[in-house]
Every structure is written in C-alpha cells, then in structure tokens.
Structure 1
Amino acid sequence: MINVKMYPAENGDCFLISFGKENRNHILIDCGYADTYHNFLKKDLKEIKKLGEKINLFIVTHIDEDHILGAIEFIKENNELQIIEIGEVWYNCYRHLQIDKNQGAISDKEKRILQREIALGESYIRRESSCKISKSEISVKQGFTLGALLLKGGYNWNSSFEGKAVSRNNIEKIEFGDMSVNVLSPNNKKLDILKKKWLKELTNKKWNFNVTEDKLFDDAFEFMLLMYDEELLIDKKEISLEEITMIASIQDIIQQKVNADKSPTNGSSIAICINYEGKNLLFLGDGHPEILYKNIYNLGVKEFDLVKIPHHGSGKNMTIQLAEILKSNKFLISTNGNKHKHPDLESIARLIYINKDINKELYFNYETKVSKWISTEEMKNAFNLDVIVGNGSLPLNIVIN
C-alpha cells in the first residue's frame, strides 16, 4: 500500500509519501511555506517518529519560496529538537554548480556587499514565513539558509550522488530497499543554465569580485534566487472561463501555442519517478516540459499510478506531447491559485482532453476557478472525471493499493 499526503501549501508543494503498512518507508518532497510545516507537517513527522520510523529521503526540488521556506523551518527545528531522523537529503545549491571558484580570499568590502544581500534575504524569509522582525533588524545571523542548516545538522546531503549535484547525468536511478527512484530532471545542462543566470546577476549588480569558496557565496546565492520571482515579471493573459461555454471549445484551447517555461530555477527542479512493488508515481516538481517528456518516455511505462503535474498546473509546463504520455487515473494539482493564478485552464484542458477515455481522479488541495469549472456533471461525464477538492485546512490523503 502507498499513501500520499498532499498538504495545504498555499501556492506551493508539500507531499509525504509512505510505503507499506508496517515499518514503513517515507519520502518527503518539499515543505511549502513555514505555516505548512508548523500547521500540518510537523504533527505527522512526530507521529512517524513515535512509530520508530524515519524520513528515508527528503527532497527539496529547487530554490523557490513556495517549496523551500517550510524546509528551512523544518531543518532549523530538526537541528535543535530532533523532530525526526532523515536518511538522506536531496537538494542542489551553490556548492553543487560547476562554478570555477577562486581559492583566494575576498576583501572586507566584498564581504560587506555579500552580507548586505544576506541580511536582505533573511528579512525577506522572515517576512514571508510570518516570523517577527523589527524594522531595525539588519544584522547577519549566519546559517539561516537551507544549505547552511543542512551543513550544521550533518545530514547525508546528496550522498547517493557522492556529494555532487542531483542530476540525471550523474546517476539516473537510486535504490532504497524495496523502492527505487528515477531522476527525470534536472540534467547538467539545466544546472549550467542556472549557474549562468546567477553569475549574470552578479555582473548586473556590478560585482566584479572573484567567486570563491567562502560560505558567504552559498548564502548569497540561495537568498538572491529566493527573492527573484521571474513569473511575477511576466504579463500573464488568462483565458476567461465565462467565455468557455461549450465543451467543444476545449479543442481550440489545447491547440494554442505553448510558451514553454524557460525559468532557470524551474529548470533546476528535481523531478522523479518512484517505483514500489510495481507501482509507478511521478512527482514532477516545476520541471520543464521538454526534459520531462523525453525522460518519462524513456522509462517505457505505459500508465502511471499517480502523477503530480508540473508547476502547479502552469500552462507553460504542460504541452500536448507531455500530456499524451501522462497516462494515469490519479492526478495531483497543488495550489490555491492566489499568487500566480494556477492552475491554468489550458494545462488542465490538455490533460483531460488527451486522456478523455481514461477514468481519472483529479485532486486539488484547494478550490480554484479551474477545479470548479471541471466539476460540473457535463464536464465529468464528457471526460470521465472524478474531481476531489480539499478545503485548504486539511491534507488530502490518496491511497494506492
């Protein structure tokens, strides 16, 4: 038996996957925001510990606030209170990018520049995490990034990859007892694009100093990516649901050109396929559609037992080609739609139209415009749908026997 918990994570992701009935193994993927951890996840982690079990694998898919802020809270508390044992952590940050680093020291002036950026980042995280912060608090408290907290806690960090990046080019498949995990994304090319983005950002700030091994660069890298939300810079044109009155209109919607996701941070997102006792589950993070299509196709799996669709149902991450190979009777859509208006109509339309002959369940952890639109009897009958919508105050449990 497999149990998947999809937590209310606002516009983010937080999933706990448990395998078996006794002496279970657990994979935790992302932690949403700080409130996600404190209000929902922490209680379940304590229950797992009481049973003598642990988190076998903790995956933080990429540096984005809706995936990582809760992870920072979790690891910070775990270091102090030993909430639960963690077997291994997968997370890519500055130290895993192939950046040529100068072995020398940086000047005091350069340190002050980085410390200023880190102070801004700490203030940002505290604000986004609903932590109290005074207007005068600008000092640097080292160790507030996830990377720093993982180092402090001495976790097995990317140990299956010999401490290198979680990348398909390094290792494609990892065995964890009775289960295995295939890495679908990222590859070294996607990580190289992220590296170039960050180095370009340093240049844009007219920081001409050499990048070194100094830990200040670890913190500055993580904070700068967290504070830069590319999606908010894009003028997004929504399709009005009120204009879609005929089911036939879906055929026109799905044929619209996909302006594919090019975000370097999303491209670095860890996407996986979990195999356990013949069951195959896809957790696709915020991955780019072209790399997901290629590597899912190469798995040779005809139908998946569960699919967490990429990037909260963004239309930029769901092509017709990708939808055609996402054959499943269970799809998870994790978002409240408040920040980026996800899921996009065109993404869900492609998914249900291409797979209209399959009986399928679509799980939403919050009610959104799109979940309401596909919940009509007409839509459910036409596309063989069952729509399960959470109330945003409790996790959704999905059982796979």
Structure 2
Amino acid sequence: MNINCNILKAFNGDCIWINFKDEAGETRNILVDGGPGNAYQFKNRKGKQEAGDLQNLISRLRNKDQFIDLLILTHVDDDHIGGLLKWFKKDREAKNLIKKVWFNSGRLISEYFGEENTEENDLSLGDATGFDTSIRQGVNFEEFLQENVLWERRLIHSSNELKIFGFKLTFVSPDINKLKNLLVKWEKESPITETSGKDDYGWSLEKHIQEDVFKEDTSIHNGSSIGFILEYNGKSAVFLGDAHPTQVANTLRSLGYSKKAPLEAEFLKVSHHGSKANTSYELLELIDTHSYIISSNGDKHQLPDKQCLARIINHNSKAKIYFNYPEKIPVIFKDEDYDAFPDFQALSAENGFTL
C-alpha cells in the first residue's frame, strides 16, 4: 500500500489530501482541513467564480464514486476551516460524501471539563437554506455533523494513539491544557502572533541565522491545533497543523525521541505555514527528515517567514523545502543564499509525496 499525500493550493491555509488503498484494496481518502473559503471557490481576475482545489477534489471523488473516509479539522481558524464551511453552505450533498469527522469542538471541550457551553463555543454555518433541514438561520456546525451522523465526538489530544485503515496516528498536539484554554477564547479567527505583516525576505539566510531570536507563538487557537504522526510499514510522516513547537517537542520526548534518537520521518508538514514562531531548533532536533513542506501562498501574513526557513537550513544544510506555491521560491531565496548554502534545495510540492 502506498500512501500519497497532496498539499492542495489553499491560498494562505492548509488543505491536505491523503489517498491510498487499504489492506482490502479499497481506495480511501483522508482530508486534513479545508483551507479558507477561496480554497473551495474564488473570484478570478475577471470577477467570475472559479473552482478552487478543494471543489475540484470533491468533483473528482464524486466522479470516481469515492468518499472522504475521514475528515480531520485541526482547529477553527478560518484558513483551515473556511473552505469546508463554504462547501457545506453551497452543496447540500456534502454530507453524503463524508464518512467520518474528527474535530475538537467548543461544546465537546466544555463537556470534557464539565463546564457550561456558551454561544462563543458554537461555530455557525450561517444561512441554512441550502441544507436538507428546516429552513433557518445560523445552523450550528456541530449540529450539522451530529444530525448527519458524521461526527464521532471523540476528543483528540496528545495522549491519543489511534489505528485506522491499517496505519497508526499518534497525536502530538494539543495537550489537555491547550484545549482548556479554548474555554475562555473561542472565535472563528484570531490574529497571527509574532508576525509583523511585512515579509522578511530582504535579509539573507546568513543574516537571519546570525540575528535569530526565537519567540514562540502564543495564539490559543494555534495551541489547540491537532498535530499527528502518521505511521505505516515502518515509515512515518509528520503533520503539525499550526501546533506550538514546545508542545510537539514535549510529546515527542514523552514518546522516547531525543536529539540523539530522533523520530525518522519521510517528510514534515511545517507548522503554521512556516511561521518563525512555530518552528524551533528544539523541535527540529527531534525530527530526522530531509523534506519540509510549506503550505502558503503568502497573500495574508506574508508567510512563510524566511527566518523559519533559515532555521531549517541551518539545522539541516541538505534540507529540501517544498512549496505548494513554487512561485514563492525566487521571491524568498536569492543567489547569495544558494552560494552560502549550496546543498539545500527549494522545490515544488505539486507532485505530492509518498509514504
């Protein structure tokens, strides 16, 4: 069984399609996040609606009579869930394409801690006129999942290890404390922390390395992000969503990994679109890989940060950094960077990855 991973073009967000045949030979599909609304549908330069990669994937699966066997929503920031919300609003048959959803909702977290649910913990789908339900405003996302028997209501946290479709998922984020923080702050979208709004591409890799001072992401939402290791047939891949690096490092150490004995991975989906606040040397030392994936077109928050990429290259001079928007490569890296670090490569992620 080959597991194929495709990093869809999701503008400033994440939308990851994992495709494989299970041990019985049946084709399976896992979708991790849905990007922002534009990942489903956007207006082109002529002002006409155009299908995004998420909508194209949905059409492809329908044409092949396939399903999304598992949908994992890492957290509720718009650049991860907006595309799914737009899909559900526009497509009344969406519920028939999805078999199972894993999602740490505000209601579920409230129940776990024995706290009373509040309106701030609800994620609304807005106008429900497109659904096969009574016509009403503000259908709740959790209600939609529950009414259509899509949601297991399983709380995902860093002590979980689940087996599904013949492989193992080990969750490295969030921990229980990160989830509890959401009880006091639960919104659709929050500002990125430690990001100035201006790119840092004017500095060389060498200057970024010399001037590097690490400040960790403090976003409550990002701290709640689901991150996991996918393991199959002795091989591993790491998907970090927007997880905090200290949280992931602590979990990896609790699993027995160390600087001397790191987790060997085929590839790492870098946390938070390559933000400098979500990748530390401490984390990089615990994951042994040559392939690092960046999911972002930089149209919001100007991610990835070159300082993050410099940290990766300084840690691993033979790093292969893959971009789902390869046009970012000449914008970020200059001749002086390649001269100083001749063994690193900046590559397109468009052909996907195999585990």
Q: Give the AA of the match of 2:321.
A: L
- The 8 Å contact of residues 230 and 236 in structure 2, kept in 1 or not, is answered as yes
- 1:381 Cα deviation from its structure 2 partner: 7.6
For the 8 Å contact 2:326–2:347, the answer to whether it is kept is no
Aligned mates of 2:219, 2:327 — CA distance in 1 = 24
SS at match of 1:182: strand
> 319, 322, 326: which one pairs with 2:283?
322
Match in the other structure for 1:165: 155
Q: Comparing 175-184 with 380-389, which one deviates more in the overlay?
A: 380-389
The 3 A distance-change label for structure 1 pair 43 and 12 is: same
In structure 2, list runs of 5 or more residues that go unmatched.
41-50, 128-134
Q: How does 1:131-210 map to 2 (within 5 A)?
A: 141-143=137-139, 145-155=140-150, 157=151, 159=152, 163-169=153-159, 172-198=160-186
Amino acid at match of 1:4: C
Give the aligned residue type for 2:276.
G
**1:251 has 2:209 as partner:** yes
- Aligned pair in 2 of structure 1 residues 369, 40: CA closer, same or farther (>3 Å)? closer
Q: Cα 1:11–1:237, aligned 2, differ >3 Å: closer, same or farther?
A: closer
Query: Is this contact kept in 2: 1:10–1:336, CA < 8 A?
Result: yes
State the Cα distance separating 1:368 from its structure 2 match. 6.4
The alignment status of 1:66 with 2:76, answered yes or no, reads no
Match of 1:47 in 2: 60
The number of equivalent residue pairs is 329
Residue number in structure 2 paired with 1:213? none
1:259-290 per-residue CA deviation (whole Å, 9 max, x = no partner) reads 21111111110101111222211110000110
Where does residue 132 of structure 2 map in the other structure? none
Instruction: Label 1:376 to 1:277 Cα distance change in 2 as closer, same or farther (>3 A).
Output: farther
> Which residue type is aligned with residue 252 of structure 1?
Q
Other structure's SS at 2:238 match: strand
Which aligned pairs between 1:2-401 and structure 2 lie closer than 5 A?
2-20=3-21, 23-37=26-40, 38-76=51-89, 79-80=92-93, 84-86=97-99, 88-98=100-110, 100-101=114-115, 122=126, 141-143=137-139, 145-155=140-150, 157=151, 159=152, 163-169=153-159, 172-198=160-186, 225-226=187-188, 228-231=189-192, 236=196, 240-244=200-204, 248-253=206-211, 256-299=212-255, 300=257, 302-356=263-317, 358=318, 360-367=319-326, 372-374=331-333, 376=335, 379=338, 382=341, 384-389=343-348, 396-400=350-354
Contact 1:3 1:397 in 2 (8 A): no
Match of 1:216 in 2: none
Change (3 A) 1:380 1:181: farther
> Which runs of 5 or more residues in structure 1 are unaligned?
107-113, 124-138, 199-224, 391-395
Equivalents in 2 of 1:49, 1:282: separation in Å? Answer: 28
Residues of 2 paired with 1:5 and 1:40: CA distance?
A: 11
Q: Secondary structure at the match of 1:4?
A: strand
Give the counterpart letter for 2:143 in structure 1.
Answer: A
Residues 78 and 152 of structure 1, relative CA distance in 2, 3 Å threshold: farther
Deviation at 1:185?
A: 0.7
Structure 2 vs 1, CA of residues 39 and 230 (structure 1 numbering), >3 Å: closer, same or farther?
closer
Give the direction of change, closer, same or farther, for the CA distance of 1:324–1:152 in structure 2 (3 Å limit): same
Helix, strand or coil at the partner of 2:39: helix
Q: Equivalent residue of 2:169, what SS? A: strand
Change (3 A) 1:332 1:294: same
CA radius of gyration, larger in = 1
Per-residue CA shift, 1:168-199, capped at 9, x if unaligned? 24xx210013111111111111011111335x
TM-score, normalising length from structure 1? 0.72
Q: In 1, are the aligned partners of 2:236 and 2:266 still within 8 Å (CA)?
A: yes
For 2:94 and 2:116, locate their aligned partners in 1 and report how far apart those are by CA, in whole Å: 37
Taking structure 2 as the reference length, the TM-score comes to 0.80
**Cα distance, 1:35 vs structure 2:** 2.8
Conserved in 2, the CA contact under 8 Å of 1:181 and 1:275? yes
Residue 195 of structure 1 aligns to a residue in which SS? coil
Select the structure that is richer in helix: 1
What is the DSSP-based 3-state SS (H/G/I as helix, E as strand, rest coil) of the residue aligned with 1:242?
Answer: coil
